[in-house]
Amino acid sequence: MDEAAPQGAKPAAFLDRDGTLMEDTGYIGTPERIRILDGVPEALRMLGEAGFERVVVTNQSGVARGLFGEPDVERVHRQLRERLARHGVTLEAFYYCTHLEDCDCRKPLPGMARRAARERGLDLRRSVVFGDRAGDIAFADALGVPGILVNEFGTYAGPEPLFRARTLLEGVRFFLERVHA
């Protein structure tokens, strides 16, 4: 684990994007394909009220594959932030990896979270990860924090998460009531 967090550092809720916050329809390079999942605004609101920074961490290998560019990823993130703002919620930061090969920033390696912690003064030891794939739970394991699986379809083969939720809202409720409390 990294050195101690700065005094007053906030914990983070590290959130996968596709399949956790919005519908996973494949490589999403245009804002028109954004479909925010049910309960996401309420879940994000609850995390914010509990004192967590809401930080998106997402692998975006569509850039390396030549399907779209980084400006497209930025447009999708801007639009996602704007749509959530209409519900009165905020995402504090977005971190993404555009690579195909293993690098320090590609999940399940912890580079994105460590960078966010340095840049935003976050306390990784009090943080949590929410995601829909094995790589997200392995990411949580690499950070030494709870990993909550958000998977409405029920099929999953990967590291055992702390909790299996059908939706982000269900996972956030579990975490705040049973772990963070």
Query: How confident is residue 180, by pLDDT bands cut at 50, 70 and 90?
Result: confident
Residues 6+ apart with CB under 8 A from 116: 12, 14, 55, 57, 93, 95, 122
In tens, the pLDDT along 66-90 reads: 899 999 999 999 999 999 999 999 9
Catalytic residue among 2, 18, 38, 104: 18
Q: Say if residues 152 and 134 touch (Cβ distance below 8 Å).
A: no
- According to the model, what pLDDT value does residue 3 have? 54
Residue 1: predicted pLDDT = 46
Residue 58 has pLDDT above 70, yes or no: yes
* Mean pLDDT for the stretch of residues 109-114: 96
Could you list the beta-strand ranges (E) of 1-109.
12-15, 53-59, 93-97
What is the residue-wise DSSP string for 82-129?
Answer: HHHHTTT----EEEEE--SS--TTSTTSSHHHHHHHHHHTB-GGG-EE
Backbone φ and ψ for 174, nearest 5 degrees, come out as -55, -50
State the Cα–Cα distance between residues 142 and 1, nearest whole angstrom. 9
**CB of 16 within 8 A of CB of 130?**
yes
Over residues 119-170, the pLDDT tens digits come to 999 999 999 999 999 999 999 999 999 999 999 877 888 999 999 999 999 9
DSSP state of 17: S
Which percentage of the chain shows pLDDT scores above 90?
84
**pLDDT given for residue 66 in this prediction:** 85
Average pLDDT value over all residues in the chain: 93
pLDDT band at 18 (very low <50, low <70, confident <90, very high): very high
Whether the Cβ atoms of residue 134 and residue 17 lie closer than 8 Å to each other? no
pLDDT band at 8 (very low <50, low <70, confident <90, very high): confident
Active site residue 16: yes
Closest listed residue to residue 19, CA positions, set 140, 168, 172, 174? 168
pLDDT confidence bin for 4, thresholds 50/70/90: low
Percent of the chain with pLDDT over 70: 97
- Point out the catalytic residue in the list 2, 16, 38, 136: 16
Amino acid at site 174: F
Residues 52-63, mean pLDDT to the nearest whole number = 95
Burial of 19 (0-12, 13-18, 19+ CB in 10 A): buried
pLDDT band at 16, cuts 50/70/90? very high
Give the homologous superfamily in CATH for domain 12-179. HAD superfamily/HAD-like (3.40.50.1000)
Number of H helices and number of E strands within the chain? 5, 6
